[in-house]
Structure 1
């Protein structure tokens, strides 16, 4: 009987740990299987190693953003807005109209140097149309988000 209590207690601890990881540490967005995207994310040439680290950290977010643009998914783009931004829908819809078709081709993303570790500007260049887009990425609760809509990006910092 004691053996079963220990096993059951262990299973409960493992279950709680898995739930904590799932809710707190796992990114709240993920790349879908389709449509496929052709994105290169690189750091601006810099003497500071944190620029390269940030480029690695934001890689998934940027790919998800381009994938949702390409798919015409304004609601999905709006879901990538930083938590302290309100009404991201109109901005997301505008981005889908303006850059959605361009996301069909190769996309180069340059992560620029930033003075603060929880804000990071990026430049998105769409090879298909030659368009360039500047975005602000905001780090909040361990995840990177896109500054979309109205809000105070420093509110969650």
Structure 2
């Protein structure tokens, strides 16, 4: 029994010595440390992923610009109410966010993608607020209120999409 313990101990010490001499022991945790960013730092997603996400977000920004243009064209026409209902139900930014977000992992998702979602949601609400100003007294094009809040929010969402592309 004593001989088995001595042999086992000798083999164990030899294995430790081998790992130490070849560097295996010191590199055992190195690969996982190299793959993980240091605390407080974020990884940058691959450029192709950032570009794909930003393209999706910009496309949705353009969708809301087109939706606003449709509303402006319909202002004062009988078709405005149908457009207003369509705009009220339009939440395409949610799917655009989901699609864009699939390009990232938790470790490399840029904060600007969340900012984009907030800003394009603001734009969607601003379209509905603008449409809500439609009344008999304002139904002619001369009295159409400027959609400044809408265009400002969409422009901000564009800047957010650019930040997503940059990994910010």
> What range describes the TM-score normalised by the shorter chain of this pair?
under 0.3
Q: Report the structure, 1 or 2, having the larger helix content.
A: 2
Q: Give me the TM-score of the superposition, normalised by structure 1.
A: 0.26
Query: Which of the pair has the greater relative contact order for Cα pairs under 8 Å at 6+ separation?
Result: 2
Q: Report the structure, 1 or 2, having the larger strand content.
A: 1
Greater Rg by CA: 2
